[in-house]
Amino acid sequence: MNADSALFDDTLVSDDEFPASLRPARSLRECSDAARRAEVTLRAMSALEESRDEVEHHSPGELLNARIEAKLDLTLGLLGMLAAQREMIPPVQEVRWSRRGLRLKTREAMAVGSKIICSAYLLPTLPLPVDMPVEVIACEPSDSEFNCWLRLPDSAPAVQDGIERELFRRHRRLIAERRSAR
User: pLDDT category, 14, cuts 50, 70, 90?
Assistant: very high
- The 10s digit of each residue's pLDDT in 124-146 is 777 778 999 999 999 999 889 99
Task: Give the C-alpha separation, 94 to 77, whole Å.
Answer: 21
pLDDT at 174: 84
- How sure is the predictor about 77, in pLDDT bands with cuts at 50, 70 and 90? low
Q: What is the pLDDT of residue 116?
A: 96
Asked if 110 and 148 count as a contact pair (C-beta separation under 8 A), the reply is yes
> In sequence order, what are the residues at sequence separation of 6 or more whose Cβ sits closer than 8 angstroms to the Cβ of residue 108?
146
CA dist., res. 34 & res. 129, Å (int): 11
Predicted confidence (pLDDT) at residue 66 exceeds the cutoff of 60: yes
Tell me what the mean pLDDT of segment 16-31 comes to.
Answer: 94
The total number of residues written for the chain in this structure = 182
Half-sphere exposure of 151 (CA within 13 A, CB side): 18
Label residue 29 by pLDDT band (50, 70, 90): very high
